[in-house]
């Protein structure tokens, strides 16, 4: 490969929130040529009009992937939105197709500490995908994204209204990271010429406890918010009572267990190293969305 040739970059799941943002960042940086794959190419007409090559790809149809991935040098594998064995099978099919297509480097959006001892019920999907990458002949960068800080906005909006932030997270801390920083890290890792195989923890600038979050919400809104530690089953039952299917409630609650065990507390400099910009803090994010935290704001 010529050192001067622009690398052809491919983004999977490109019609989703993360995929579209990565495409925007790649176009802004003039990183092309760019290939975007999706099950719904019609949703990316705006990007095809801007020079992005849009291709149909369905991870449940491995035969569709060989042509979709053809010509790519580096591929961003955005984890799909199904859960369990179906997702792992999708990822394995994508990895095999990428290898067969001659892709040299895969960037994968994983989870912090996805090892077999993780209490997070989604962790086996990511651990299995990382294992499949290790078994391939390709080079890779695994982006182990921490919990999205953006998810705190509806959570803390409810807490401001009730005066209580009720979780089963104990005194554990989390290095929450924004979706924007995850997208910027992914775009930077994809467009770089990095070689080798490495996992990177993608985190915010600091680790915060639930009590810290309650304090920030109190400061921003002027309304007292208190952290109330609960038992895990109490949290699950409350989500079920609110209408959430129990299996989904158990998945959400499993993150509380991991937080309590300190599995999300490590802070890294990976976002700044990749992008050249410091990651956005939780306080900065919440301050920008202060109106959404106040009583009377719509809770989503």
Every domain of the chain and the residues it spans: 9-145+178-202, 153-157+164-172+205-265+277-293
- Cβ-based burial of 74 (10 A; exposed 0-12, middle 13-18, buried ≥19): buried
Which helix (H) or strand (E) segment holds residue 56: the answer is strand 53-56
Range in 32-36, 139-143, 185-189 the model is least confident about? 32-36
Q: How far is CA 247 from the centre of its chain?
A: 21
Triad 181, 187, 191: Cα angle to 5°: 145
How many other C-beta atoms are found inside a 10 Å radius of the C-beta of residue 29?
A: 11
| Biggest alpha carbon–alpha carbon distance for the chain | 60
Beta carbons of 208 and 281 less than 8 angstroms apart: no
Does 3.40.50.720 match the CATH number of domain 9-145+178-202?
yes
The mean pLDDT value for 103-111 works out to: 98
Q: Work out the percent of the chain whose per-residue pLDDT is above 90.
A: 93
Q: Where are the alpha helices (DSSP H) in the chain?
A: 17-28, 45-48, 65-69, 85-100, 123-135, 152-162, 179-191, 210-221, 232-241, 246-260, 270-275, 282-288, 290-293
pLDDT, residue 1, reads 46
Beta carbons of 185 and 21 less than 8 angstroms apart: no
Do 9-145+178-202 and 153-157+164-172+205-265+277-293 show the same overall fold? no
Residue 209 backbone dihedrals phi, psi, to 5 degrees = -90, 170
Q: Give me the count of residues in the chain.
A: 300
Question: Which of helix, strand or coil describes residue 256?
Answer: helix
Q: What rounded mean pLDDT belongs to the chain?
A: 95
Convert the pLDDT of each residue in 56-85 to its tens digit. Answer: 999 999 998 999 999 999 999 999 988 889
pLDDT band of 3, cuts 50, 70, 90: low
Architecture of domain 153-157+164-172+205-265+277-293 in CATH?
Alpha-Beta Complex (3.90)
Six-digit token string for 256: 């509380």
pTM score of the predicted model: 0.95
pLDDT, residue 295, reads 75
Residues 43, 45, 50, 55, CA torsion sign: positive
Q: How far is CA 57 from the centre of its chain?
A: 21
């Amino acid at each position: 490969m010529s050192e001067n040739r622009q690398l052809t970059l491919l983004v999977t799941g490109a019609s989703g929130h993360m995929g579209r943002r990565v495409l925007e960042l790649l176009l802004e940086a003039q990183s092309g040529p760019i290939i975007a794959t999706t099950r719904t190419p019609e949703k990316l007409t705006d990007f095809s009009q801007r020079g992005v090559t849009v291709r149909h790809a369905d991870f449940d149809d491995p035969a569709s992937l060989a042509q979709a991935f053809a010509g790519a040098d580096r591929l961003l594998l955005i984890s799909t939105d199904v859960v369990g064995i179906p997702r792992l099978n999708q990822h394995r099919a994508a990895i095999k197709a990428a290898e067969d297509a001659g892709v040299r480097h895969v960037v994968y959006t994983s989870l912090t500490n996805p090892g077999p001892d993780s209490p997070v019920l989604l962790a086996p999907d990511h651990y299995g995908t990382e294992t499949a990458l290790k078994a391939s002949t390709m080079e890779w960068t695994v982006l182990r994204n921490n919990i999205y800080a953006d998810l705190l906005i509806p959570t803390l909006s409810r807490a401001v209204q009730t005066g209580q932030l009720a979780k089963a997270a104990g005194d554990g801390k989390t290095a929450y990271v924004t979706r924007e920083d995850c997208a910027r890290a992914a775009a930077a890792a994809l467009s770089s010429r990095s070689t080798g195989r490495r996992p990177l923890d993608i985190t915010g600038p600091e680790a915060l406890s639930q009590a810290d979050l309650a304090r920030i919400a109190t400061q921003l809104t002027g309304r007292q918010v208190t952290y109330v530690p609960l038992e895990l089953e109490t949290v699950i039952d409350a989500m079920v009572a609110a209408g959430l299917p129990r299996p989904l409630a158990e998945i959400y609650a499993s993150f509380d267990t991991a937080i309590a065990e300190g599995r999300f507390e490590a802070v890294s400099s990976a976002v700044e190293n990749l992008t050249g910009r410091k990651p956005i803090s939780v306080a900065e994010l919440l301050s920008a969305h202060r109106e959404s935290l106040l009583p009377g704001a719509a809770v989503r």
